[in-house]
């Protein structure tokens, strides 16, 4: 038979006063749950990078990249309600240095502005002053996913025979969203869409 003296002895063995053992366990469970919810709420939808390469032409260096991009229903609904979405293609070249921090040799960004016109039922993608129309969201996704011969560096920016580290990524720029949607993006993974940096070595 378990008596009060047995319970007291067990608590003394744990070096915890009355009730503290249970409170500690509950607190630990709540902390673990909070971390899990936080991680789930801000985890980004992932854009997969299928391939990426850099090739040289007479006038410079050009990027080819292939992404696996799909907009979720929340982003699609936002577009159809008139909210523009901004995607950013980021590219960089660094030169490793054993004696100091790596040298950043080239950085280049391309911004895509995606909108939807409810009257014409057309999607539009703008890159600077250039704009192209698309009848379906699938075609927009295909366009954003393919980077073909995008100029990223001049020939004189890279030294022949030198090894460089190259990286590229594609992401939704939540900082360009209207303020109310920026707040939502902080708490919901539905508003966060990006790829990891895809890295490789390149020697001209």
Digit-coded pLDDT (tens) for 133-173: 999 999 999 999 999 999 999 999 999 999 999 999 999 99
| pLDDT, tens digit (0-9, with 9 covering 90-100), for 45-65 | 789 999 999 999 999 999 999
Question: Which has the minimum average pLDDT: 30-34, 63-67, 74-78?
Answer: 30-34
Q: What is the DSSP letter of 190?
A: G
Q: Are residues 100 and 156 in the same domain?
A: yes
Q: Are residues 32 and 100 in the same domain?
A: no
Q: Are residues 26 and 115 in the same domain?
A: no
CA gap 93, 200 in Å, rounded? 10
Residue 164 CA to its chain's centroid (Å): 23
Domain interval for residue 96: 45-202
User: How would you classify residue 149: left for phi > 0, otherwise alpha for psi between -120 and 50, otherwise beta?
Assistant: left
Say if CB 91 and CB 167 are below 8 A apart. Answer: yes
- How do strand 45-46 and strand 193-194 relate by DSSP bridges? parallel
Q: Are residues 31 and 70 in the same domain?
A: no
Instruction: Tell me if the pTM is above 0.85.
Output: no
Query: Greater confidence, 135 or 5?
Result: 135
pLDDT band at 190 (very low <50, low <70, confident <90, very high): confident
The whole-number pLDDT of residue 186 equals: 55
Q: Are residues 193 and 141 in the same domain?
A: yes
CA gap 57, 113 in Å, rounded? 28
Q: Are residues 13 and 49 in the same domain?
A: no
Q: Are residues 9 and 82 in the same domain?
A: no
Domains held by the chain: number: 2
């Amino acid at each position: 038979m378990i008596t009060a003296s047995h319970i007291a002895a067990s608590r003394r063995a744990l070096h915890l006063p009355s009730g503290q053992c249970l409170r500690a366990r509950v607190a630990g469970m709540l902390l673990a749950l909070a971390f899990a919810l936080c991680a789930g709420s801000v985890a980004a939808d992932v854009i997969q990078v299928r391939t990426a390469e850099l090739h040289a032409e007479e006038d410079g260096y050009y990027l080819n990249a292939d992404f696996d991009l799909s907009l979720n229903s929340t982003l699609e609904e936002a577009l159809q309600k008139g909210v523009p979405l901004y995607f950013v293609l980021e590219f960089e070249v660094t030169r490793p240095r054993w004696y100091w921090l790596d040298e950043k040799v080239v950085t280049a960004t391309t911004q895509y502005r995606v909108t939807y016109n409810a009257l014409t039922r057309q999607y539009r993608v703008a890159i600077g002053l250039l704009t192209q129309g698309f009848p379906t969201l699938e075609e927009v996704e295909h366009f954003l996913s393919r980077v073909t011969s995008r100029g990223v560096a001049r020939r004189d920016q890279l030294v022949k025979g030198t090894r460089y580290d190259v990286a590229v990524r594609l992401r939704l720029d939540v900082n360009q969203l209207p303020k109310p949607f920026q707040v939502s993006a902080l708490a919901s993974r539905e508003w966060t869409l990006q790829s990891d940096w895809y890295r490789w070595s390149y020697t001209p």
